[in-house]
A = this chain, B = another copy of it.
Amino acid sequence: MRGHYNLIAGQSIERLAALSDGVFAVAMTLLVLDLHTPAASTIHGERDLLGALAPLAPRLLVYLMSFLTLGIFWVGQQTQLNQFERADRDLSWMHLTFLFLVSLMPFSTALMAEFFHYRTAMVLYWFNIFLLGIVLLVSWRLALRHGLVVEAMRAGTAAIERRIIVAQALYALGAALCVFSTSWSLGVIIVLQLNYALAPAFSRRWIP
């Protein structure tokens, strides 16, 4: 009985993608709820308004960074799902785990942004990114083992795995820097994020 259910359960890549897009969309917009307009009663001139908006700037930065991180992993997951012919139940659960970690990202980012001078916050933030990477890697191997990857992509598998491993090694290195200084750690991680988001746009100019 179980075997039979497993043969038909969780096969749709389309629904996995749709659920993922939903979770990413909600996670991406959740932090915007933290931006509140100032109370009208405290504003008596342009200066007051500017003054009331200034404290929102760091929140906006956190939001931007959370969006950036989620964007990187959305592109990563999407690229992977595109290489799959179909899903199965194990793969569905792997990506449900991925989505759970995705939904925690706004919290980790907010924590890190507010307490970036504390190692605890930095390590938790890195750990969230680390787990996201691990799950994507395990998902890819599982899909290969279960024969879910489209024929044409089975050869390119080393590149995909190397990419995840290199990225994770760099993140880990960045996080490890917090032994010396959490600011350095944060700086390295932000540069890495920007690199993964912006790099292709720039690299194409130089590598025709």
Which of A's residues lie within 8 Å of B, judged by CB?
1-6, 8-12, 14-15, 17-19, 21-30, 32-33, 35, 37, 40, 43, 45-46, 49-50, 53, 64, 67, 71, 74-76, 78-79, 81-83, 89-90, 92-93, 96, 99-100, 103-104, 106-107, 110-111, 114-115, 118-121, 124, 153, 156, 159-160, 162-163, 166, 197-201, 203-204, 207
A-B contacts besides A18-B21, A49-B120, 17 pairs, CB < 8 Å: A3-B207, A5-B79, A5-B160, A6-B204, A8-B83, A8-B153, A17-B18, A19-B74, A21-B21, A21-B25, A22-B24, A27-B29, A28-B103, A35-B107, A37-B107, A75-B92, A90-B204
Q: 8 smallest A-B Cβ distances: which pairs? A: A22-B25, A18-B21, A71-B96, A26-B29, A9-B79, A19-B21, A4-B159, A23-B25
A33 to B50, CA, bound (A): 26
For A18, the chain B residues whose CB sits under 8 A away are 17-18, 21
Q: Which of B28, B53, B111, B198 is A120 in contact with, Cβ under 8 Å?
A: B53
For A33, the chain B residues whose CB sits under 8 A away are 30, 33
Main secondary structure of the interface of A (DSSP, over half): helix
A28 to B25, CA, bound (A): 12
15 contacts between A and B (CB under 8 A): A1-B163, A3-B203, A5-B163, A8-B83, A10-B75, A19-B21, A21-B21, A21-B25, A35-B104, A35-B107, A43-B118, A46-B118, A49-B115, A53-B120, A90-B201
A78 to B92, CA, bound (A): 11
Q: Are A78 and B10 in contact (CB under 8 A)?
A: yes
Shortest Cβ distance from A8 into B: residue = B79
